[in-house]
Amino acid sequence: MTEKDSRHKGGVEARRKRFALAMRGLYEFLSLPAVTYFLLGGPRISQWYGLGWWSKLGLVYRMYRNTKRIETGTSFRAHVAMASKIFAIPPKTEGVIVECGCWKGGTTANLSLVAKIVKRRLIVYDSFEGLPEPAQGDRWAHGFGTGAYKGELEEVRANVTRYGSVSSCEFRKGWFSDTIKHHEEPVVAAFIDVDYQDSLHDCIRHLWPNLIERGWLFIDEYSRLDYCALFFSEWWWAHYFDRPPPGLMGAGSGIGVGHYFTGPLRERTVYQAPSSVGMTRKDFYGMWDFVPEEAGMEARPYGRDAWTSTARLPEEVAPEQLAKVLQQQQSQEGS
Ligand SMILES: C[S@@+](CC[C@H](N)C(=O)[O-])C[C@H]1O[C@@H](n2cnc3c(N)ncnc32)[C@H](O)[C@@H]1O
């Protein structure tokens, strides 16, 4: 290939990339009404919090705009998805919202807007010094990352004051290993975006006991399957909480919030970008508990019955299906 040919090829590729990025931006903007309708639909939000269609759209637009104004590692779609779950928690239920890992406060600003509407406190944990020194054995921690994603407390506070509701926030500065273990308030929802395995471990270990019975836990690192595996790790949940793993919705590509990302992350092209979250709930059950006879071992002691299944169980569905078939038969016989 001549130099001229390769310059031409480079130019075409750059144009294609610019076009794909523009299309992604356009899609993001045009989908705001759909995101509002599908994620924040339903009368309960309106009844509980007096939010009509236009206020919901206004909120979503503000959240979208905030992610353009404050440098952030997450998407407004993820923020709206979290809002949808927080809005669905009855106002009478006691509890705070928690964010672990805030960087410049992009998510904090948006969660603070939600916190203000639902009249809950948003507690923000961060070192405000960026990522820590890597712990031994942490595959996702790299020496060169120490101090990365630093947002100073004053900078975060200023961003949230300007774009969110700073009066709804409480900032708790320090390394998670020193701060989170002292967390005491009941938690209705927690968002964890902390990059390192060691940091995630500390956050889950100490926040989980404070999550309310049906409290939500969201993570940003859903596109790394081995990171998501914590939520399916039988040894981890048995060891720390003597319970089955809760599982993680959206493991690998995020929950469905209208984004285009099929994964895996390392093979992604400019056409796709992850812009979602992974999530689980305190009462979920995400364990493979079928033990075939050939394995010659006892089943685990945890029964499914004590947990909420993420789909309706066959025994719940069967009577309805039977009734439907009988009804069809009767109407056929009658005609
Ligand atoms: C990727 S950034 C968070 C991005 C942010 N959620 C957003 O939406 O823009 C990761 C954050 O986690 C914090 N962090 C990670 N490990 C920590 C630890 N062990 N203790 C305190 N802060 C930690 C870093 O300071 C950083 O602010």
Looking at 74-186, which runs of residues are DSSP E strands? Answer: 96-100, 122-126, 169-173
130, 139 Cβ separation under 8 angstroms: no
Place of tokens 């001229």: 4
Residues in Cβ contact with 149 at an 8 Å cutoff, skipping those fewer than 6 apart:
73, 101, 103, 130, 131, 195
pLDDT value for 251:
98
Q: How far is the CA of 135 from the centre of ligand 1 (A)?
A: 15
Helix (H) and strand (E) counts for the chain? 12, 6
Residue nearest to atom 11 of ligand 1 (CA): 101
Q: How far is the CA of 333 from the centre of ligand 1 (A)?
A: 66
Q: Which sign, positive or negative, has the C-alpha torsion 307, 92, 211, 165? A: positive
222, 250 Cβ separation under 8 angstroms: yes
pLDDT in tens, 183-207: 999 999 999 999 999 999 999 999 9
Ligand 1 and 107: CB distance under 6 A? yes
Q: How far is the CA of 324 from the centre of ligand 1 (A)?
A: 52
Domain parsing of the chain, residue ranges = 69-281
Averaged pLDDT score across all residues of the chain: 94
Picking from 2-6, 80-84, 223-227, 308-312, which range would have the lowest pLDDT averaged per residue? 2-6
Q: How far is the CA of 208 from the centre of ligand 1 (A)?
A: 18
Q: Best substitution site from 67, 80, 104, 127 to test ligand 1's pocket, by max atoms within 8 Å of Cβ?
A: 127
Polymer length in residues for the chain: 335
Looking at the structure, give the CATH architecture of the domain made up of residues 69-281.
Answer: 3-Layer(aba) Sandwich (3.40)
pLDDT value for 302:
87
Ligand 1 and 199: CB distance under 6 A? yes
Ligand 1 and 193: CB distance under 6 A? yes
pLDDT value for 107:
98
Ligand 1 and 76: CB distance under 6 A? no
DSSP SS3 for 123: strand
pLDDT value for 246:
98
Q: How far is the CA of 237 from the centre of ligand 1 (A)?
A: 24
User: Predicted confidence band at 102 (pLDDT cuts at 50, 70, 90)?
Assistant: very high
**Pair type for strands 278-281 and 211-219:** antiparallel
Q: How far is the CA of 113 from the centre of ligand 1 (A)?
A: 20
pLDDT in tens, 109-168: 999 999 999 999 999 999 999 999 999 999 888 877 899 999 999 999 999 999 999 999
pLDDT value for 47:
85
Q: Best substitution site from 77, 107, 131 to test ligand 1's pocket, by max atoms within 8 Å of Cβ?
A: 131
pLDDT in tens, 5-20: 777 778 889 999 999 9
Structure tokens given for 229: 């595996």
Give the pTM.
Answer: 0.93
